[in-house]
Amino acid sequence: MGSPPNFRIDTLEGDSGTTIKLGGELDSASCDELVMRFEEAISTVGRRELVIDLGEVTFIDSSGMRAIIMIERRAGEHGVALTLTRPPAGVTELLQTTGIADRVVLTPSAEDFSPLEPFVERIDITLVRAPDAPARARAELRQAIAGRLSEQDGATATLLTSELVTNAVIHPGLFVGGSVGLRITLFGNRIRVEVTDGGAGFDVATLPPARPGEAGGHGLFVVDGLSSRWGTTRRGGGAGEAFCVWFELDAGLQGEAGDQAAQFSTPSRSQQYSSRHSLASSMHRASESQGSTVSNA
Amino acid sequence: MRPETATAILEIAGNAFVTLDAHGRVLEWNRRAAELFGYSRDEAFGRDLAELIVPSRYRERHRDGLRRAAAASESDRITARLIVEAVRRDGRELPVEVSLTVVRDGIEPSFHAWIQDVSERTQLLRELEAQLRGRDPGFGQILDALAEAVTIRDPHHHILYANRAAFESMGFSSLEEMQRRPPHAIFADYIVHDEHGHELTMDSIPSVRLLAGERAEPLLLRTISRSTGELRWQLLKSAPLHGEDGQPVAAVTVIEDVTRERTADLHDRFLARASEILMSSLDYQETLRNVAWLAVPEIADWCAVDLVDDRGSRQRVAVAHHDTSKLKLAEDARRFEPDDLDPDRGVGRILRTGESELYREIPDDVLARAAVNDEHLTLLRSIGFRSVLLVPLRARGRTFGVMTLVTAESMRRFDEVDKEFAEQVAGRAAIAVDNARLATSRRETADTLQRSLLPDIVPRIAGWDVATLYRAARAAEEVEVGGDFYDFYETDDGWIVLLGDVTGKGVEAAALTSLVRHGARFLSKYEQSPSQILARLNEALSEQPGLWLCTAVCVRLEGERAVIASAGHPGPLIVRDDGRVREIGAIGPILGAWMGEPSVERGVPIAANETLFLYTDGVVDTLGEHERFGTERLKRLLSERAGEPPARILASLEAGLDRFQVGRQADDTAALALRPVAVSERVHGDAAQSAEASRKLPVT
């Protein structure tokens, strides 16, 4: 009996503990194998640290999640510290949704800046790429944050959103048409806005410096100056590839949602963000092909 | 060619040549004829040939033959080659070979014959015969000791010799007895087929072919004795004996009985094929039908399978006959048979005893006793029963059916070997049926359980338009009980909607799902807070032995807002008519994993132009050709359908999933769409009353 074809598992013995490296799909066909490897690992005398590396995992279903929860339980019973590392974005969301993310040490992969915190609400809007798109985006944003952000934070978020949507409408081509995707995600202590279009995009490192007196080109400098962090990323592949510019603004949510979100925040989460970078400094380093991030935290 | 040239040729020919008129009078008589028979041309001319050279005992037959040939229509060009006895002037008889042609160029036909003295050849045969039958220990005795049958046949269709194995196998007590019966008649005692099932005539027998100057390969025969019904496989190999003139004078045939080998081989192949059919599907009625059809005509002429259920009622699941026009006979006969089976007869008896029965012969009085009336008897007779085998279908100590094998027009009779074989076939079929029934019963249990996880009807909820979607997971041919469920509970503060997914499959998961669903119904009587309901369910699941996990979303529907609590479940989506999608984030951990969780819920406004969409992970986990359906694709689909009624949205989703999905559905899928109904459309009156009324409505 081998593992299912779309599943890989390796146990690596290190000095202080064991790493179980997973790849492919963790589902009802493969989860027993994981539990078995785990039991083998904790039966080794003196092992007090266990790492499950999720870096290559493409899918986890409910059976797979049950296996992870069972491992978390058993690790607790045996006094073994369990760390889940490098979860891809989709897996991270699943770990958050089920609540396991709050009960294990979760360390992100170096290149992955997907937030390791559950969102309160995520809003997806498709805007027609037309001159009134920035105005509509501002309206949607105001509606989304109504009563949830302070007046100043709200004004900043509205301005930055407007700038990104304006760029998306103006830059990808000379003609008007198509659509611009706007995603607003509210977290307990910050807001993230992503603007997606089908354009060629740009590279942070190759942006020309803004020239005083010219109408265009100020947008990103405004974003760079006022956001807590921002960046670019590409979504999808092939013909459906989209270019995404995002920013985040650290701002405590107010009201009911904020209170609840606070209950699920753990101090460890703040560790994920890298040290401060300015746009100017980041322009000097080559940006990665998958995307780049500028942090003003 | 001028006539005198022809005459000259005839005069020097080595064989006698004779021409007769239509009445058998000699018109031509060459020199060799004169030499052979002792009459000169002048003496013979005009005489009746019968009077001249035919032995008196054959004269009538000779004249008959001529008359028949003369009367035959013109298109029948008659040529014959036969060996007959002739008589010379001196009274000595001699065997001659006659090649005869009828010519019809005048008003009346004339006959032309070449006649050859074959007494030398015949002498050789006589010597052979004498040697074989000689009283001295010799060749004949050696042949008699052989297990294989050996026959020697001469060109006159005469069995010159047959060893003991040969005549005994054909039911004769001595060679003389066998020789008294003409070979044609012996052949006609059997129904003879080749190995491909084609019926054979005597002309195909190797010895006959050899003597007709043809090549003769070994031939495998399947014979059924018309009198005993015995089936036999025989391999015939023949070799010619040549006379001094090089012509074949006799054919020696060695007949090897290969019945045992052939039958064993046939049975092995049949069992292998039948097992394959039986394992091919869980539809046991279909597989039984296929096995029945496989059995005809090689194993039997008819094959029928009857099953009885626990209440003893009988169902005929298969009747097969290779000539489908005959099937109506069985159908008609079945109508006369009482549904209550006589436990002392036929199928009823087999069901009672569990023992198979072999009726080698079905005499008419048995039919007469079995028939309920004259019409029935006529029908039974027309089937032409020869032999019947009744074999029980038995598994785990219970007889639940009978396989009936019947021979009729094939004339063969079943024996103990057939019975043993039929028991083997029935044994395999019974296990297959038993397995299939167990699977069916599991499937039915699964269906029943699955139904118990969902409300019979969707209640009408005042102020909300509600639609539901449920796609059950499938494993191979079975519905697998999954853990997805939803339900609606009415409380003083409004309706509570619960949708969830218990991790795992099968009966245990279904039981837990039931616990959650009905537990929530009970809780909702005392607890109107969605987060409190989920917290109590978490406690109930955590108390279960083992790790039972459940994700759920619980929503209380109020006028224009929904109070949402979620536990490890995909976030509810709120779709505005312009396509905006709001996803409500996770606000609590999965149920059953951890005790003492803070319970949270959130009031989310839902406008009149918005639809609340709840779903289980089966939707987004649906596997397509390249990837999973995913949340993004789901949002896009809902966004495109925004503004449509909930039932339409879910129909689009179902169609979308069906199109997207590759292979079987691995997981359950449940989804609910809820949309506030505009005030003017709202159902007026007491909500409880209307809900009560709607429960009585049939499901639409």
pLDDT tens profile B251-307: 889 999 999 899 999 899 888 888 888 888 778 888 888 889 888 888 899 999 999
In the sheet that holds B357-359, the strands lie side by side as B314-321, B302-308, B398-407, B387-395, B357-359
Contact check, Cβ <8 Å, B621/A69: no
Given the cut 0.90, state whether the ipTM is greater than it: no
Q: Is residue A145 part of a domain?
A: yes
Of A66, A69, A260, the CB nearest to B602: A260
Contact, B572 vs B566, CB < 8 A? yes
Q: Is residue A258 part of a domain?
A: yes
Contact check, Cβ <8 Å, B590/A120: no
Identify the H or E element spanning B446.
helix B416-452
Residues in chain A: 297
Q: How distant is the Cα of A53 from the closest Cα of chain B, in angstroms?
A: 22
On whether both A83 and A209 belong to a single domain, the answer is no
Contact, B360 vs B386, CB < 8 A? no
Residues of chain A contacting residue B547, judged by C-beta atoms under 8 Å apart:
66, 69-70, 73
pLDDT tens-place string over residues A110-154: 555 555 677 889 999 999 888 899 999 999 999 999 888 888 999
Give the end of a domain, one of A78, A95, A112: A112
Contact check, Cβ <8 Å, B581/A124: yes
CATH of the domain at A220: 3.30.565.10
Phi, psi of A127 (to 5 degrees): -105, 140
Contact, B569 vs B553, CB < 8 A? yes
> Which is higher by pLDDT, A290 or B408?
B408
Residues of chain B contacting residue A186, judged by C-beta atoms under 8 Å apart:
585
Of A97, A140, A256, the CB nearest to B586: A97
On whether both A152 and A14 belong to a single domain, the answer is no
Q: Is residue A22 part of a domain?
A: yes
> Which is higher by pLDDT, A63 or B13?
A63
> Which is higher by pLDDT, A253 or B423?
B423
Q: How distant is the Cα of B502 from the closest Cα of chain A, in angstroms?
A: 9
**Cis peptide bond N-terminal to A115, omega within 30:** no
Contact check, Cβ <8 Å, A59/B569: no
Interface of B with A in 666-695 (CB under 8 A): 667
Distance CA B513, CA B452 (A): 9
pLDDT at B699 over 90: no
Interface of B with A in 559-588 (CB under 8 A): 568-571, 579-588
* pLDDT at residue B422, as a whole number: 93
pLDDT at A265 over 80: no
On whether both A21 and A73 belong to a single domain, the answer is yes
Give the end of a domain, one of A52, A78, A112: A112
Q: Is residue A140 part of a domain?
A: yes
Q: How distant is the Cα of A96 from the closest Cα of chain B, in angstroms?
A: 7
Contact check, Cβ <8 Å, A61/B667: yes
Q: How many CB atoms lie within 10 A of CB B444?
A: 11
B639 to chain A, any CB pair closer than 8 A? The answer is: yes
- Give the single-character DSSP code of A207: P
* pLDDT at residue B95, as a whole number: 83
On whether both A102 and A143 belong to a single domain, the answer is no
On whether both A98 and A150 belong to a single domain, the answer is no
On whether both A46 and A141 belong to a single domain, the answer is no
Nearest partner of B669 among B555, B499, B520, judged by Cα? B499
User: With b meaning 16 or more CB within 10 Å and e meaning fewer, what string describes B257-275?
Assistant: bebeebbeeebeebeeebb
Q: Is residue A2 part of a domain?
A: no
Phi, psi of B645 (to 5 degrees): -60, 150
pLDDT, averaged across chain A: 76
CATH of the domain at A59: 3.30.750.24
Distance CA B129, CA B139 (A): 10
On whether both A277 and A138 belong to a single domain, the answer is yes
Beta-strand ranges (E) seen in A110-222 are 121-128, 179-186, 190-197
Tally the domains of chain A.
2
Give the rounded distance of the alpha carbon of B68 from its chain centre: 50
- Give the single-character DSSP code of B75: T
On whether both A81 and A214 belong to a single domain, the answer is no
pLDDT tens-place string over residues B552-590: 999 999 888 899 999 999 999 999 999 999 999 867 899
* pLDDT at residue B590, as a whole number: 92
A·B CB contacts under 8 A: 95
Contact, B305 vs B318, CB < 8 A? yes
Of A28, A62, A66, the CB nearest to B617: A62
Contact check, Cβ <8 Å, B617/A61: yes
Give the end of a domain, one of A79, A112, A145: A112
Contact, B448 vs B481, CB < 8 A? no
Domain of A47 in residue numbering reads as: 7-112
B620 to chain A, any CB pair closer than 8 A? The answer is: no
On whether both A71 and A146 belong to a single domain, the answer is no
On whether both A72 and A212 belong to a single domain, the answer is no
B621 to chain A, any CB pair closer than 8 A? The answer is: yes
pLDDT at B476 over 60: no
Best mutation target among A27, A70, A120, A124 (most B Cβ atoms within 10 Å) is A124
* pLDDT at residue A113, as a whole number: 53
Q: Is residue A1 part of a domain?
A: no
> Which is higher by pLDDT, B29 or A278?
B29
Q: How distant is the Cα of A25 from the closest Cα of chain B, in angstroms?
A: 11
Query: Which segment of A115-129, A136-150, A233-247, B179-193 scores lowest on mean pLDDT?
Result: A233-247
Contact check, Cβ <8 Å, B579/A119: no
Residues of chain A contacting residue B584, judged by C-beta atoms under 8 Å apart:
121
* pLDDT at residue A296, as a whole number: 53
On whether both A125 and A108 belong to a single domain, the answer is no
Give the rounded distance of the alpha carbon of B533 from its chain centre: 58
pTM: 0.57
Residues of chain B contacting residue A102, judged by C-beta atoms under 8 Å apart:
589
Count the helices and strands in chain A (H runs, E runs): 8, 11
Q: Is residue A261 part of a domain?
A: yes
On whether both A237 and A291 belong to a single domain, the answer is yes
Nearest CA in chain B to A137: B580
For residues B327-334, average pLDDT: 86
pLDDT, averaged across chain B: 84
Residues of chain B contacting residue A70, judged by C-beta atoms under 8 Å apart:
547
Of A28, A99, A123, the CB nearest to B590: A99
Q: How distant is the Cα of A286 from the closest Cα of chain B, in angstroms?
A: 30
